[in-house]
Amino acid sequence: YWNRLDDAEKTDLIIGILEGLNLSESILHIILRNEYSMCSDILTSIARQTDVYFEGMTVGRIVESLNAFYTDARNLGIPISWGVWVVVRQDKHDRTVGRFIQELRALYQ
């Protein structure tokens, strides 16, 4: 799917994914803060850790990284949302990302 999109569509899609991540995080914060205050600190910690991966990753860099990721035929079945998570982890030299890619390939072959 990714390889059939033009550059503008790829950019729009990544912006949408990132906006969706932000919205989901905001909704979870509101729900947990109001209903489950003890979980709020855990979510805040997870959000901070996730932010580290996205730090410095512009939409353009994510698009370029996904272009490279999807040149490998073994990755074509992996959903773009997971592809985003892969490329931001690769950018930060996450030691476990290779194993994660293998799991995704097995799941989405």
pLDDT (tens digit, 9 = 90+) per residue, 29-88?
Answer: 777 776 666 666 777 777 777 888 899 999 999 999 999 999 999 999 999 999 999 999
Structure tokens at 22: 């932000």
**Beta carbons of 10 and 2 less than 8 angstroms apart:** yes
CA distance to 33, 46, 53, per residue, from 40 (Å)? 6, 10, 21
pTM: 0.85
pLDDT 10s digits, 72-108: 999 999 999 999 999 999 999 999 999 999 999 999 9
